[in-house]
Structure 1
Amino acid sequence: MHVPDGFLDAPTSLATGVVAAAAVAVSLRAARRELDDRTAPMAGLVATFVFAAQMINFPVGAGTSGHLMGGALAAVLVGPWTAVLCLSVVLVVQALLMADGGITAIGTNISLIGIVTVAVGWGVFVLLRKVLPARLSIVAPAAAAGALLSVPVAALVFTGLFAIGGNAPVDLTALTATMLGWHTVIGIGEAAVTGLVVASVVAARPDLVHGARPLLAERVLETRAAVAS
């Protein structure tokens, strides 16, 4: 979903740029609570994986492209604030060095891919983590569900932005149907990739998975309580 230059008018692009800059500024401070010397390298690995995954693009229509986004994956692995930073760096590098997404649309792309997908993916994950049994086995399915929903939601937000400030001569109804249809399919693929990657990391090093730490803490408390009794 890399939006090109000129697809949205200047006021809309400026507004999303302000939103993106504010989100990155807040994330820079908040990410300190998510990372330490042991988990910081994971952020680099996540950014590298998302960068590689997003290089597989295919046209969706009206000048936009579809690809895996990685918002839910990054949020579950390294935390939502760090995920915003990881995806923002990836998107800026892609725009400046690889012409993938417009330079004037960097704010729009960060808002859609780096903020919306992270917020939706993490929100769904946290909700499922609260209502499902407190076991490590639910981390991967919950992450996959977050990924599945995050992609079409981002597509809907994009169509909303286009309705406000779209410059291209594209029918809004047709664009909405195309974006939602394609990104629902992409969401299914993203859910599969997210579930597999998160399951693999949880199986090997659950202590490195940000979204799994509350479940690990509960398991330790249960174990200690059983020994004490």
Structure 2
Amino acid sequence: MHVPDGFLDAPTSAATGAVAVVCVGTALVKARRELDDRTAPMAGLVAAFVFAVQMLNFPVATGTSGHLLGGALAAVLVGPWTAVLCMSTVFIVQCLLFADGGITALGTNILLMGVTTVAVGWLLFVLLRALLPKRVSMVPLEAGIAAFLSVPAAAVLFVVLYALGGTADLPIRSLATAMVGVHTLIGVGEGVITFLAVGAIIAVRPDLVYGARPLLARRELEIRTGTPA
């Protein structure tokens, strides 16, 4: 989904860049509430993991491949604001050092693959965590479902942006069908990878998973409450 230079017109690219700057600036302030002695080291590991795994493509259809976006995964592991910073760092490095996505489209790519996947993934995860049984063992499943849905959500936003400022004469309905269809398949891979990654960490160090902390605190409270004086 990396958008190249010239795919969107200048006003649209400038607008998405401005929104991305605001989002990253807000994340720089808000992330201070999430970062602690566990989250800070994890943030670096998450950024490195997302960067590495994005280099690996998996087939999703004839002549089409996809890769992990990682926004929902990052949000569940280190918190949404820190995740925005992790994802933005990944896309900046990819753009400047590997020419993956255009420089003028950097803000667009951060907004689509960083901010959108993090926001949608985190909100869906929190909703599922509230609706499903309050067990730490459910966190990988909740994260996987949220990650799966976050990918087509980003594809829908891309279609909206293209409808507003696309530079090629493409039928929007056809573009929407192709983008959402392919990215739904990519979302399946995203969900599986997220489920496995979060599950592996939950199995050995659940305290390192930011999204599991409210459930861990609740479990500890119940244990202490049930202990006789």
Residue 109 of structure 1: how far off its partner (Å): 0.3
Listed one character per residue, the Cα deviations across residues 91-146 of structure 1 (whole Å, up to 9, x for unaligned) are 01000110100000000000001111001100010001111111101100000010
Residue 57 of structure 1: how far off its partner (Å): 4.5
Look up the SS of the partner of 1:127 in the other structure: helix
Listed one character per residue, the Cα deviations across residues 130-167 of structure 1 (whole Å, up to 9, x for unaligned) are 11111101100000010010000100000000000000
Paired AA for residue 174 in structure 1: S
In the other structure, the counterpart of 2:126 is 126
Range 49-58 or range 160-169, more displaced: 49-58
In the other structure, the counterpart of 2:113 is 113
Look up the SS of the partner of 1:228 in the other structure: coil
For residues 20 and 65 of structure 1, the distance between their equivalents in structure 2, rounded to whole angstroms, comes to 26
| RMSD over equivalenced CA pairs, Å | 1.6
In the other structure, the counterpart of 1:179 is 179
User: Given that residues 116 and 154 in structure 1 are in contact (C-alpha distance below 8 angstroms), is that contact kept between their aligned partners in structure 2?
Assistant: yes
In the other structure, the counterpart of 1:145 is 145
Equivalence map 1:1-229=2 (5 Å): 1-57=1-57, 66-228=66-228
For residues 158 and 225 of structure 2, the distance between their equivalents in structure 1, rounded to whole angstroms, comes to 49
For residues 216 and 86 of structure 1, the distance between their equivalents in structure 2, rounded to whole angstroms, comes to 24
Look up the SS of the partner of 2:227 in the other structure: helix
Identity %: 65
Residue 16 of structure 1: how far off its partner (Å): 0.4
Residue 53 of structure 1: how far off its partner (Å): 1.5
Look up the SS of the partner of 1:102 in the other structure: coil
Look up the SS of the partner of 1:56 in the other structure: coil
Calculate the TM-score normalised by the size of structure 1. Answer: 0.95
Residue 58 of structure 1: how far off its partner (Å): 7.5
Look up the SS of the partner of 1:36 in the other structure: coil
For residues 113 and 147 of structure 1, the distance between their equivalents in structure 2, rounded to whole angstroms, comes to 12
Listed one character per residue, the Cα deviations across residues 172-227 of structure 1 (whole Å, up to 9, x for unaligned) are 22211111111000000000000000011011111110000000000000000110
For residues 177 and 8 of structure 1, the distance between their equivalents in structure 2, rounded to whole angstroms, comes to 19
User: Given that residues 155 and 180 in structure 1 are in contact (C-alpha distance below 8 angstroms), is that contact kept between their aligned partners in structure 2?
Assistant: yes
Paired AA for residue 223 in structure 1: I
Residue 59 of structure 1: how far off its partner (Å): 9.8
How many aligned positions are there? 226
For residues 199 and 66 of structure 1, the distance between their equivalents in structure 2, rounded to whole angstroms, comes to 22
**Unaligned residue ranges in structure 1 (runs of 5+):** none
Query: Per the alignment, do residues 37 and 202 of structure 1 end up closer, same or farther by CA in structure 2, a change over 3 Å counting?
Result: same
For residues 169 and 67 of structure 1, the distance between their equivalents in structure 2, rounded to whole angstroms, comes to 27
For residues 79 and 106 of structure 2, the distance between their equivalents in structure 1, rounded to whole angstroms, comes to 22
User: Given that residues 141 and 195 in structure 1 are in contact (C-alpha distance below 8 angstroms), is that contact kept between their aligned partners in structure 2?
Assistant: yes
For residues 196 and 71 of structure 1, the distance between their equivalents in structure 2, rounded to whole angstroms, comes to 15
